[in-house]
Amino acid sequence: MKTVKTITLAICILCGHFIMAQDFKETITKELKFSSNSDQNMLVAKNINGPIEVEGYNGSTIKLEVEKTITARRASDVELGKQEVQFKIEERNNRIYAFTETPNNTFNTDKGKYENMRNNQWVKLNYSYYIRFKLKVPKATNIELSTMNDGDIFVKNVQGNEIIVNNLNGAITLENIAGKTDVNALNKDINITYFRNPNGDSRYHSLNGDVNVTFKENLNADVTFKSLNGDLYTNYDTTTLSPDLVKTKTKGRKGIKYNMSSNQSYRIGTGGIKLDFNLLNGDATLKK
């Protein structure tokens, strides 16, 4: 492992007073390998503030580089941030977890997700932090990625059996990928190009962005589409299928209320895998 640390000082003038902002920067590099050769192995990278970049290559190990920046006005707060914001790695049940932890974000490897607020108390931080993940992985690696703020997720040339990506406030771009796909971007666009069409049912969800997916020409799939304020565009020949009816019940003033809604469904080619597009305010584009 190689660790490089630098400290920089910046002087600003605000309202006639001198304010000294201090940055701590650290680069951590690691090389990882799964304990077994199972096709169920998955790399799980979880970030909080910052982007994730992943590139597939023809090697056999996972090469990871993490750039960590802590910024505060006081040197003591920088030192506190250095101790409290941690990058960790654990391997469990055919998964390698690479994740960020802070006083407000504890990662539970048993559940595979963050549990916010230690002791149910939100801690006000007197520093800011930014972490950039850069990874090179064997092309056939299964991956699960997520970040929350201040960064996009970019993946290139990863062609495993499964790819799962979630981004709360950034965009998702997947280039030249393969595998069953599950992507969710809350507030930005999703752009995907496939090296090989998905081999299993896949989901493409966005709340306030567009979803643009380029498949290979020989796509055979059943497509469902739902959007409150958007449309579906495609240059594939399609056959309209009967809509899927969804029944929900809620408790109203007069008793139990049943609501019926439907998703638009289309068949491309001979059908087969299901491709689910669920958006609120964006459009979906499927093209070859």
Q: Sign of the C-alpha dihedral, residues 55, 60, 62, 63? A: negative
**Which residue in this structure is represented by tokens 């406030």?**
169
Range of the domain at 188: 29-229+240-287
pLDDT digits (tens, 9 = 90+) for 72-82: 999 999 999 99
Structural domains of the chain, count:
1
Secondary structure (3-state) at 76:
helix
Residue type at 146?
Answer: S
pTM comes to 0.86
pLDDT digits (tens, 9 = 90+) for 87-99: 999 999 899 999 9
Confidence of residue 249 (pLDDT cuts 50, 70, 90): low
Residue type at 246?
Answer: V
CB atoms within 10 A of CB 226: 19
Is 166 a member of any domain?
Answer: yes
**pLDDT value of residue 242:** 73
List of residues 6+ apart from 272 with CB closer than 8 A = 220, 221, 222
Q: Extract the tokens encoding 61.
A: 């190990």
